[in-house]
Chain A
């Protein structure tokens, strides 16, 4: 048991740090959170810089520890978040890399890595959220195309996406997990209509996507027809296993800022608040250790994200909400002013126990798959 990094890992860290120190000052100014085209351009520009410096692949084929270092260092240096690149880099890309054909990999992976194309995730539907396998958007074959009709919801980045990893039902007669197929759908295809939804934070982070007889080439199918559920499980293990590393680093920084603000505005003298911040420090230190533990485990098992991801996600999503509740305590009355920092973050933290599998669903996973408790009726 140790926490020391190898000389190669330390060298990777040092080179990255050096590059970040030079690259970050050259970044254009950050666009407003409401400026979607601006955000797309900014996020893709950052990916392009990473690509040109040789770091584009890091999410895919670096060792888990190297990836951990990458996320730790970029976050510590205040580098941009993957943002609009999220689905491409962290879901669709790894899924295509693992399950796609040579042609599919050649078509879709380079533009993701070069920061040229944005992907979104068309999984959830109005009547299929937690029970994703009950999805109803249907597709039938006509010649070389699938013809797709239905609707998707909560699709993050749909407005600015070029491609959608889309789950469709290709065999309505099969048991619900069996009749699903994974397609790469161009968002520009005729029949795709995107209607932005306003989140409780006031912005349009996600959208409804209506699909009316949309033609998607059969060549865009990843995995076999009706084998989409298995392909999807590959995607979800990436989502839960590795998505939050940088965020833990960010939360620890926010906690430090909270303490400084509390010292400035006098709230620090309140021992109850002070001890609450101390407890949060313990929490995020532990979450960082848990991350290192999970990464070491993944390293030992050949890089496969394990079920430790569900344990982590459960604890982390609640801790993040507690962090911003504590921020409100530090701010006092100002915590009701949307112009203050942390107030929007407090609002968006509310999604963490819902998105990517609700806490209830994660608890079911932990109880059934880790603890071996029987499935309920």
Chain B
């Protein structure tokens, strides 16, 4: 058993991290907030880097990697708050023309009735008739609601890739909290020396690391029950982590300027996918008495 990242996987993660640091840094994040809309050039670059074609077989012109690699890549996307219908376009690669290359932007009607990036999409999969625009809580994810979504099974791969994005958020907000706790001083010492702050940070790490083990294992087994578990753990790690990060930042955490609210809001959006975690909980309950 070698349940650790391989050298190739570590290199892949470094590569994606490097690309996103160059192409979607803090300044780009701010710019995206001021000018809503999808950055098509970036989308094509992601396509060229294999972001969407990652799991398309080599014979079909793709990169030919698997779910574990996809999970690592989506984790990085989650860390940087990369906007756009990433999961939908990734899942459409090899099926919808141009999706793999990042030429075509694909949006999915989520079984829970939400559509992300409907107006920017070139192709919409699912029945979006009558979609009503919402004033999205996440400034970087435009949302529509479909009145009566036809019942559809939730795609486990979509659930897992979303969990990977949540894991990225959980890891990132823990880093942000720790950075702040080391530098911000009150009462003559860094606030990170106070146990109340320390314990918030430790809790964030424990949730993130537990979620990491669940998400990576689910990527290896691709088992829907493992994926359901990964989802619940990752949602919790992201949402609670972002909240605690906000707390560690104090008043600054409550401002628009501080990046923390963006992580929390994105975590909320992702946590609603597939109609929320209820279906996963039921699946896991049934698994117990099987």
Q: Which of these, A4, A263, A278, A376, contacts B1 with CB under 8 Å?
A: A4
The chain A residue with its CB closest to the CB of B175 is: A371
Which residue among B174, B201, B281 has the maximum number of chain A CB atoms within 10 Å of its CB? B281
A127 touches B (CB below 8 Å): no
Q: Which of A255, A290, A370, A375 gathers the greatest number of chain B CB atoms within 10 Å?
A: A290
Nearest chain B CB to A272 CB, angstrom units: 10
Q: How far is the CA of A146 from the CA of B200 in the complex (A)?
A: 45
- Residue in A closest to B203 when the chains form the complex, CB atoms: A363
Asked if A286 and B213 sit within 8 Å, CB to CB, the answer is yes
Interface centre among B1, B4, B181 (most CB of A within 10 A): B1
Cα–Cα, bound, A375→B231 (Å): 34
Residues of chain A contacted by B219 (CB below 8 angstroms): 1
Collect the chain A residues with CB atoms within 8 Å of residue B194's CB: 376
Per-position 1/0 for B248-290, Cβ under 8 A of A: 0000000000000000000000000000001011111111110
B189 at the interface (CB under 8 A from A): yes
List residues of chain B with CB within 8 A of the CB of A299: 1-2
Q: Are A286 and B288 in contact (CB under 8 A)?
A: no
B220 touches A3 (CB 8 A): yes
Q: Is the pair A279, B284 in contact by a Cβ cutoff of 8 Å?
A: yes
Q: Flag whether A334 is at the interface (Cβ < 8 A).
A: no
Contact with A360, one of B189, B199, B220 (Cβ below 8 angstroms): B199
Contact with A along B192-228 (1 / 0, CB 8 A): 1111011101110111011111101101110001101
A278-B211 in contact given A2-B2, A296-B1 (Cβ < 8 Å): no
**Residues of chain B in range 13-36 having any CB-CB distance to chain A below 8 Å:** none
Measured as residues with beta carbon below 8 angstroms from the partner, the interface class of chain A is: 35 or more
Pick from A281, A366, A374: contact of B202, CB below 8 A.
A366
A2 touches B1 (CB 8 A): yes
Q: Are B199 and A277 in contact (CB under 8 A)?
A: no
Task: Say yes or no: is B161 at the interface (Cβ < 8 Å to chain A).
Answer: no
- Shortest B219–chain A CB gap in Å is 7
| Assembly CA distance A292 to B210 (angstroms) | 11
From the candidates B201, B228, B278, B289, name the one contacting A282 in the complex (CB within 8 A). Answer: B228
Secondary structure of the B contact surface, majority rule: helix
A309 to chain B: closest CB distance in Å?
Answer: 12
Give min CB distance, B64 to chain A, whole Å: 17
B5 interface residue (CB < 8 Å to A): yes
Instruction: Report if A256-B210 is in contact (Cβ < 8 Å); known contacts: A279-B281, A296-B4.
Output: no
Tell me if A12 counts as interface (CB < 8 A to partner B). no
For the complex formed, measure the closest distance between the CB of A353 and the CB atoms of chain B, giving whole angstroms: 13
Which residue from A259, A260, A285 sits with its C-beta under 8 Å from B226? A285
Does A189 reach chain B (CB closer than 8 Å)? Answer: no
In the assembled complex, the Cα of A7 lies from the Cα of B106 at a distance in Å of: 44
Give complex CA distance A290, B207 in Å: 11
Knowing A278-B284, A363-B202, say if A1 contacts B229 (CB, 8 Å): no
Complex Cα–Cα for A253 and B129 (A): 47
B289 partner, pick from A2, A9, A256, A314, beta carbons under 8 A? A256
B193 touches A287 (CB 8 A): no
Flag whether B182 is at the interface (Cβ < 8 A): yes
Known contacts A4-B1, A372-B182, A374-B190; A278/B213 CB under 8 A: no
5 further interface pairs, Cβ-Cβ under 8 Å (given A281-B287, A296-B4)? A6-B1, A292-B1, A311-B205, A315-B206, A372-B178
Q: A: which residues have CB within 8 A of B? A: 1-6, 9, 65, 68, 255-256, 258-260, 262-263, 268, 274-275, 277-279, 281-283, 285-287, 289-290, 292-293, 295-297, 299-300, 308, 311, 314-315, 360, 362-364, 366-368, 370-377
* Cross-chain pairs A/B with CB under 8 angstroms, 29 sampled: A1-B5, A255-B288, A259-B288, A274-B285, A277-B285, A278-B286, A281-B284, A281-B287, A282-B228, A282-B233, A283-B233, A286-B211, A287-B210, A289-B3, A289-B213, A289-B214, A293-B216, A300-B4, A311-B206, A311-B209, A311-B210, A362-B202, A363-B195, A364-B195, A364-B199, A366-B205, A367-B198, A372-B182, A374-B190
